[in-house]
Chains A and B, each alone.
Chain A
Amino acid sequence: MNGVLRYVAKRLIMGVGIVIFVSVLVFAIMQAMPGNPIDLMVDTRVSPERVAELKAQWGLDEPPIVQYFVWLGNILQGDFGMSVSMKQNVSDLILQRLPYTLMLTGAALLIEYLIAIPLGLWAAVKKDKAVDKSLTVGTIVLWSMPQFWLGVLFMLIFAIWLVVLPLSGWSGPSSLILPALTLALPTLAQIFRLTRSEVLDVMRERYVMTARAKGIEGRRVLIRHVLRNALIPVTVMFFLSLPWLIGGAVVVENVFAWPGMGQMLWRAISKQDFMVVQGVIFVITVLTVICNLIGDIISGILDPRIRLE
């Protein structure tokens, strides 16, 4: 147990380090941007004195290092600063939008795993048969589809031609269907392949042969012995794939005008609204690091060899 604790502690420190590193990186990028939000917001008639006054009011006249530590200190107290373009607390904005992004990614993950794991298992059982081959090709085709195109295709078919689902935005649970499918379908290829290859690996193990030799019924061996062990890496993948999914969510949210963090982030980046960009990326990085940590811990507990690294 001691080993597990030490491993977790090490990972935790690493995670905090990553969050700090990423926040410095993002801060530096935002600082290096040409212009600043005040110059972008006010028009040329505003006097230089007024601009300087505004900058002082938003704390933009301090040296970057001071600005960074002020920002970091405030974040630790739950204050993400003010959005220059939306004139609102960034923490309020994030809290308004985070549930929508979590809902979208959560639904996508659910769809992905519910489809990919059974298909992966099926393909592994029928290895090299027609089913396996067509599933493999099918998932490569899905994997090759850009989410922004798939989303627009779904909009065209289901919202414009058939008029059975809402076109965009949020107007109740039915709005979730198209964006979630768009996010899930291209990425399920990875989980499908992982499930398939892990199941194939486990099926070669001696304990599976033993179970079969003992005369345990085939389906039971498959579920109890094979799937249970094959799903360990798949579970870890669940947590590791999150940044990709959130990245995809940024694009999908922009296709469907989904009121989540991705859409807000995109608008904030184009308006150079530093506080919003830094805040959103900070939250996303923390979420990612937590998920990676959970993934690492699970694999560390399930597979003691990893702890030694």
Chain B
Amino acid sequence: MKKTLKNICKNKMFLIGLILFGVVLLVAIFAPLIAPHTYEEMNNAAKLIGPCSEYPLGTDQYGRCIFSRVIYGSRIALSVGLVAVVIETVIGVTLGMLAGYYGKKIDKIITFVTDSAWAIPPIILAMAIVLLLGSSAMNVAIAVAVVSWAQFTKIVRAKVQSLKELSYIEAARIYGESDFNIIIRYILPNLTSTIIILATLALPTAILSTTSMGFLGLGAQQPQPDWGMILQDGIQYLGQAPWISMVPGLAIVWTVLGFNLVGEGVKDMLDPRLKV
């Protein structure tokens, strides 16, 4: 434990990432305490005004407080990103384990589907899926998950293929353990660090994808404060009120950068040789 702590402190990038991430998490949890206004409160007398004491980061065309909207937006960004990563981890790891463990036909089918999933630009398929399901924050999470599990499958499959050859797994099989038991009790625990690395690195990508969908108007709908949507709304007022677009963008950079640094650190600590 002490050694791990020492390692964490030595890894400056990881530490900075952890701080950036911690701030976002606290902001999301305590949003009502931090935000001076609610995210939907409009003020006709204060449209498109610049930063001032009442509105620390200015207002939009309806006189809504940008600072408050971006603060509340962290909840959407984090939860949607997290849900997407959980779903894609489950899909990707399950398929990867099945393909790697059973091999032969199952492996061929799964590999083919995975290769096909690589062949479509993810955001395009995600757009189509959201339109099918309807625009909402959770549907964006599902769509992003459905298009981004392939990375998990490829890496987990390769890992399981080599694990399968280990003698204690061979022994378990001879002993008469069922395939299900072998996968869950002997193979899955060996994949923990790989899955942790992949999932932490997938989160920033998921947040970038989900906010892109918001930017294209597919995410949470008004008056929900989706970061991508606020940014899109601000483009038409870019000349007179640039803060509308800039602030949510900076919030995305902050969050994604924090996660990327944490992910890099986790990878360095758990498995520096893993190629992602």
Determine how close the nearest CB of chain B comes to the CB of A295; give it in whole angstroms.
11
Determine how close the nearest CB of chain B comes to the CB of A137; give it in whole angstroms.
7
Determine how close the nearest CB of chain A comes to the CB of B232; give it in whole angstroms.
8
Interface residues of A in 266-280 (CB under 8 A from B): 266, 269-270, 272, 277
Let me know if A156 is at the binding interface, CB within 8 A.
Answer: yes
Assess whether B119 is in contact with A292, with CB atoms less than 8 Å apart. yes
Determine how close the nearest CB of chain A comes to the CB of B124; give it in whole angstroms.
6
Known contacts A144-B253, A146-B208: does B215 contact A156 (CB below 8 Å)?
A: no
> A153-B249, A243-B121, A265-B127 are known contacts; what are 8 more A-B pairs with Cβ within 8 Å?
A18-B112, A33-B131, A148-B212, A150-B249, A152-B234, A156-B242, A247-B121, A284-B120
Assess whether A284 is in contact with B124, with CB atoms less than 8 Å apart. yes
User: Which residues on A sit within 8 Å (CB–CB) of B260?
Assistant: 140, 143-144
User: Which residues on B sit within 8 Å (CB–CB) of A69?
Assistant: none
Let me know if B256 is at the binding interface, CB within 8 A.
Answer: yes
Of B120, B216, B249, the contact of A281 (CB 8 Å cutoff)? B120
Of B120, B234, B264, the contact of A140 (CB 8 Å cutoff)? B264
Assess whether A145 is in contact with B131, with CB atoms less than 8 Å apart. no
Assess whether A284 is in contact with B121, with CB atoms less than 8 Å apart. yes
Show 23 residue pairs from A and B whose CB-CB distance is below 8 angstroms, ordered by the A residue: A18-B115, A26-B125, A29-B128, A32-B132, A145-B256, A146-B215, A146-B228, A146-B256, A148-B211, A148-B232, A148-B249, A149-B231, A149-B250, A153-B246, A243-B118, A246-B124, A250-B123, A254-B216, A269-B128, A269-B131, A281-B120, A284-B120, A289-B119
Assess whether B132 is in contact with A156, with CB atoms less than 8 Å apart. no
User: Which residues on A sit within 8 Å (CB–CB) of B120?
Assistant: 22, 243, 281, 284-285, 288
> How far does the alpha carbon of A160 sit from the alpha carbon of B252 in the complex, in Å?
23
Known contacts A22-B120, A156-B246, A292-B119: does B253 contact A145 (CB below 8 Å)?
A: yes
User: Which residues on B sit within 8 Å (CB–CB) of A19?
Assistant: 119
> How far does the alpha carbon of A254 sit from the alpha carbon of B215 in the complex, in Å?
10
Known contacts A254-B216, A266-B216, A270-B131: does B118 contact A146 (CB below 8 Å)?
A: no
Of B124, B242, B257, the contact of A265 (CB 8 Å cutoff)? B124
Determine how close the nearest CB of chain B comes to the CB of A35; give it in whole angstroms.
11
Interface membership of chain A positions 11-54, coded 1 if the CB is closer than 8 angstroms to chain B and 0 otherwise: 00010011101100110011011000000000000000000000
Interface residues of A in 119-150 (CB under 8 A from B): 137, 140-141, 143-150
User: Which residues on B sit within 8 Å (CB–CB) of A292?
Assistant: 118-119
> How far does the alpha carbon of A290 sit from the alpha carbon of B115 in the complex, in Å?
13
Interface residues of B (CB under 8 A from A): 13, 112-113, 115-116, 118-125, 127-129, 131-132, 204, 208, 211-212, 215-217, 228, 231-232, 234-235, 238-239, 242, 245-246, 248-250, 252-253, 256-257, 260-261, 264
Assess whether A140 is in contact with B261, with CB atoms less than 8 Å apart. yes
Of B129, B231, B248, the contact of A29 (CB 8 Å cutoff)? B129
Determine how close the nearest CB of chain B comes to the CB of A277; give it in whole angstroms.
7
Total contacting residues, chain A, CB less than 8 A: 49
> How far does the alpha carbon of A147 sit from the alpha carbon of B232 in the complex, in Å?
12
User: Which residues on A sit within 8 Å (CB–CB) of B116?
Assistant: 18, 21-22, 25
Let me know if A93 is at the binding interface, CB within 8 A.
Answer: no
Assess whether B119 is in contact with A18, with CB atoms less than 8 Å apart. yes
Known contacts A18-B115, A160-B238: does B261 contact A148 (CB below 8 Å)?
A: no
Interface residues of A (CB under 8 A from B): 14, 17-19, 21-22, 25-26, 29-30, 32-33, 137, 140-141, 143-150, 152-153, 155-156, 160, 243-244, 246-248, 250-251, 254-255, 265-266, 269-270, 272, 277, 281, 284-285, 288-289, 292
> How far does the alpha carbon of A149 sit from the alpha carbon of B123 in the complex, in Å?
16
Of A14, A150, A244, the contact of B115 (CB 8 Å cutoff)? A14
* Chain A to chain B: the 3 pairs with minimum beta-carbon distance, closest first: A149-B249, A247-B121, A144-B257
Closest to A140 in B: B260
Among B208, B252, B260: residue with most chain A CB under 10 A: B208
Known contacts A14-B112, A152-B235, A270-B131: does B253 contact A246 (CB below 8 Å)?
A: no
Assess whether B215 is in contact with A140, with CB atoms less than 8 Å apart. no
Assess whether B112 is in contact with A152, with CB atoms less than 8 Å apart. no
Assess whether A17 is in contact with B112, with CB atoms less than 8 Å apart. yes
User: Which residues on B sit within 8 Å (CB–CB) of A289?
Assistant: 119
Among B232, B242, B248: residue with most chain A CB under 10 A: B242
User: Which residues on B sit within 8 Å (CB–CB) of A143?
Assistant: 260
Closest to A137 in B: B13
Determine how close the nearest CB of chain B comes to the CB of A64; give it in whole angstroms.
14
> How far does the alpha carbon of A137 sit from the alpha carbon of B14 in the complex, in Å?
11
Assess whether A144 is in contact with B238, with CB atoms less than 8 Å apart. no
